[in-house]
């Protein structure tokens, strides 16, 4: 297993060559011998650049893309740091191994040297990417090869920092390799070294049997593993009182914790939330509920949940204002009476406490791209704008407007997806609903980085990368997230393994300011998204809930 940014080097194979049972060494003579082992380093930094998207940063993407597609040239960048190898150690050879992602590989992939080591994965873009040097190695992989290996012995001669670029001139078949953010198969630099040993006189050492250190298996772990964050100066510990929210519910530090409990069940939402809180061990600062059409919201029970002094909470209300009609008609004013009624109720019953208002969450599912349907992506954006502006004009001052997408590759890849965004002037938070499968190797299986940044199209960099790049001033709300296990026989370790990746990888996504778990025993597809379906899963989830970064004071 490769641990990214590790400062210790992992011996892959150490072959002991020296005095063993039956070996005779004359007294007073020191015989020179050598052991050979492999020092493995994970990528300290990795990302890629795009000529078609020169301002995008892909440092948190689970893949490194290199090649040409539809006029876009993408170049992968890898930085490895090899630490001290020891006195008298000689480098025998070195190789870089990259593991293929899901797409076929091009017929030719080139690894080049890069002299500039100053770049970082969080800042690299097409505009500031370092210049490429001479080619080091060219690989001719099979389209479905599991991995590609490059001989870099001509470059790696000892300890130091080494940057390489990955390119391909093959048109419309870009290479997609797993990055250090992937759950398994991260990039590796293996340096084979020889280490001198001295065999002491026979009277000074007892004969021993030859010892061989087992070779580390070449196969990668099949369960998600936490990616070690980029080394930074540790932040000073904070107390709950230090992390507070502003008028738009953006915390000064930390992350708001929340839940939508009891989904798709007859259990009252407030009762389900209290049970969820008792099991997880933390009050849900965000209480997520759902309404549509002419329903009155927030209900008296929902308001009561925000008035509990022992458990301070705010509301996240999903409202499908266009229920029973079309987005285009809402935008044209056909539902202004519905909007005005909601505004009047808010001002009379819930006028001061800020709350999140999500207008028609997961709109992608309801888009009809046909012209005149009233349900195009642009119609959604117009509906959102009209509703938000109308509520503001009606005197509603405490609604924090949130757009909530669904993180599904099918929709991200459509031509109309970019038209959904209503505009920075009416959006306070950018949200996403996203779910992972804990069954190893199954569809949508992966770690937390995959949960937030999965993509199967090089044109879309992953949700977190997209939102943080295109809307850097907007806090990101994980409005719904959850983990299910589609295994025939559910194993608690599967969910626990996914949960174990959340905290270290969340630390690398500073724009996430809200984090809401969706809990249900059975969703529309029959998935069990409860965090306590097994004792192992519950224990893993409780570790997340106990983290002090969620100690935000409302």
Q: What is the pLDDT of residues 258-276, one digit of tens each?
A: 999 999 888 889 999 999 9
Q: Which domain holds residue 41?
A: 10-213
Residue pair 434/478 in contact (Cβ under 8 Å)? The answer is: yes
Q: What is the pLDDT of residue 256?
A: 98
Whole-number Å distance between alpha carbons of 426 and 339? 16
- What was the pLDDT predicted at 241? 53
Location of structure tokens 């249900």: 520
Residues 173 and 257 in one domain: no
Residues of the chain with pLDDT under 50: 1-32, 199-240
448: enclosing H helix or E strand? helix 448-453
Angstrom distance (rounded) from CA 498 to CA 221: 13
Q: Are residues 208 and 353 in the same domain?
A: no
pLDDT tens string 456-502: 887 899 999 999 999 999 999 999 999 999 999 999 999 999 999 99
Phi first, then psi: give them for residue 277, nearest 5 degrees.
-65, -40
- With CA atoms as reference, report the closest residue to 530 among 358, 317, 275: 275
Question: Residue 116: inside a domain, yes or no?
Answer: yes
Same domain? 445 vs 530: yes
Query: Do 229 and 65 meet the contact criterion of CB atoms below 8 Å apart?
Result: no
Residue 260: inside a domain: yes
Q: Which residue has the tokens 């398994």?
A: 184
546 plus 452 within the same structural domain: yes
- For residues 410 and 542, membership in a common domain is answered with yes
Residues 346, 207 share a domain: no
Cα gap 512→429, rounded to integer Å: 10
Same domain, 206 and 280: no
Same-domain status, 381 and 290: yes
Same domain? For 267 and 158 the reply is no
Q: What angle (nearest 5°) sits at the alpha carbon of residue 126, between those of residues 185 and 460?
A: 60
Does some domain include residue 493?
yes
Which residue, 166, 158, 169, is CA-closest to 136?
166
Residues 359 and 412 in one domain: yes
231 is a domain residue:
no
**Could you tell me how far CA 330 lies from the centroid of its own chain?**
35
Contact 488, 439 (CB under 8 A): no
Residues forming a β-bridge with 257: 515
Could you tell me if 117 and 245 lie in one domain?
no
Write out the H or E segment, with its range, that includes residue 377: helix 377-393
Residue 181 is a catalytic residue: no
Number of domains in the chain: 2
Q: Which two tokens stand for residue 169?
A: 């001139």
pLDDT, residue 38, reads: 87
Q: Examine residue 234 and state whether it is found in any structural domain, yes or no.
A: no
Flag whether 505 is in a domain. yes
Taking the C-alpha atoms of residue 50 and residue 40, their distance in angstroms, rounded to an integer, is 29
Catalytic residue among 181, 362, 439, 519: 362
480 classed as catalytic: yes
Task: Report if residue 4 sits inside a domain.
Answer: no
Q: Which domain CATH number covers 348?
A: 3.20.20.80
Task: Give the C-alpha separation, 434 to 148, whole Å.
Answer: 31
Single out the residue in 167, 197, 213 at which a domain terminates: 213
How distant, in Å, are the alpha carbons of 89, 440, 492, 526 from that of 486?
49, 9, 12, 9
Find the catalytic residue in 121, 302, 439, 480: 480
**Domain harbouring 21, CATH code:** 2.60.120
Report if residue 221 sits inside a domain: no
């Amino acid at each position: 297993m490769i641990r990214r940014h590790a400062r210790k080097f992992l011996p892959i194979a150490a072959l002991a060559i020296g005095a063993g049972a039956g070996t005779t060494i004359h007294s007073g003579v020191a015989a020179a011998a050598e052991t050979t082992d492999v020092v493995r380093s994970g990528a300290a930094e990795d990302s890629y650049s795009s000529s078609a998207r020169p301002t995008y940063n892909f440092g948190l993407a689970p893949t490194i893309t290199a090649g040409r597609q539809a006029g876009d040239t993408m170049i992968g960048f890898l930085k490895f740091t090899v630490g001290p190898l020891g006195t008298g150690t000689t480098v025998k050879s070195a190789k870089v191994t990259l593991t293929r992602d899901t797409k076929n590989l091009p017929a030719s992939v080139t690894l080049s040297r890069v002299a500039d080591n100053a770049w970082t994965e969080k800042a690299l873009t097409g505009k500031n990417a370092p210049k490429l040097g001479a080619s080091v190695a060219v690989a001719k992989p099979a389209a479905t090869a599991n991995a590609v290996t490059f001989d870099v012995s001509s470059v790696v001669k000892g300890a130091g920092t080494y940057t390489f670029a990955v390119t391909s001139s093959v048109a419309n078949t870009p290479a997609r390799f797993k990055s250090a953010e992937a759950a398994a198969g991260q990039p590796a630099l293996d340096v084979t070294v020889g280490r001198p040993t001295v065999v002491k006189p026979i009277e000074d050492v007892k004969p021993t049997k030859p010892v061989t250190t087992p070779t580390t298996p070449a196969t990668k772990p099949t369960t998600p593993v936490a990616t070690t964050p980029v080394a930074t100066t540790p932040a000073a510990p904070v107390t709950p009182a230090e992390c507070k929210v502003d008028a738009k519910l953006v915390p000064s530090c930390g992350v708001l914790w929340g839940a939508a409990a009891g989904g798709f069940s007859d259990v009252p939402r407030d009762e389900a939330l209290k049970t969820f809180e008792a099991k997880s061990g933390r009050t849900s600062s965000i209480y997520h509920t759902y309404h549509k059409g002419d329903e009155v919201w927030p209900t008296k029970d929902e308001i009561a949940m925000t008035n509990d002094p022992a458990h301070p909470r705010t509301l996240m209300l999903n409202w499908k204002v266009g229920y029973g009609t079309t987005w285009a008609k809402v935008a044209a004013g056909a539902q202004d009476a519905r909007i005005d009624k909601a505004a009047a109720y808010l001002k009379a019953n819930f006028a001061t406490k800020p709350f999140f208002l999500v207008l028609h969450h997961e709109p992608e599912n309801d888009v009809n791209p046909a012209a005149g349907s009233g349900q195009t992506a642009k119609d959604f954006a117009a509906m959102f704008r009209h509703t938000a502006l109308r509520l503001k004009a009606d005197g509603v001052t405490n609604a924090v407007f949130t757009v909530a997408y669904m993180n599904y590759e099918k929709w991200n890849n459509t031509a109309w997806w970019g038209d959904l965004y209503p505009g920075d002037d009416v959006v306070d938070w950018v949200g996403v609903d996203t779910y992972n499968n804990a069954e190893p190797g199954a569809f949508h299986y992966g770690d937390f980085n995959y949960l937030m940044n999965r993509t199967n199209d090089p044109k879309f960099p992953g949700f977190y990368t997209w939102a943080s790049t295109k809307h850097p001033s907007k806090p990101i709300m994980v409005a719904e997230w959850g983990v299910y296990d589609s295994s025939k026989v559910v194993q608690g370790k599967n969910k626990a393994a996914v949960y174990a990746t959340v905290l270290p990888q969340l630390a690398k996504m500073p724009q996430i300011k809200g984090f809401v778990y969706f809990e249900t025993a059975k969703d529309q597809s029959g998935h069990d998204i409860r965090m306590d379906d097994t004792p192992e899963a519950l224990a893993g989830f409780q570790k997340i809930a106990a983290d002090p970064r969620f100690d935000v004071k409302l």
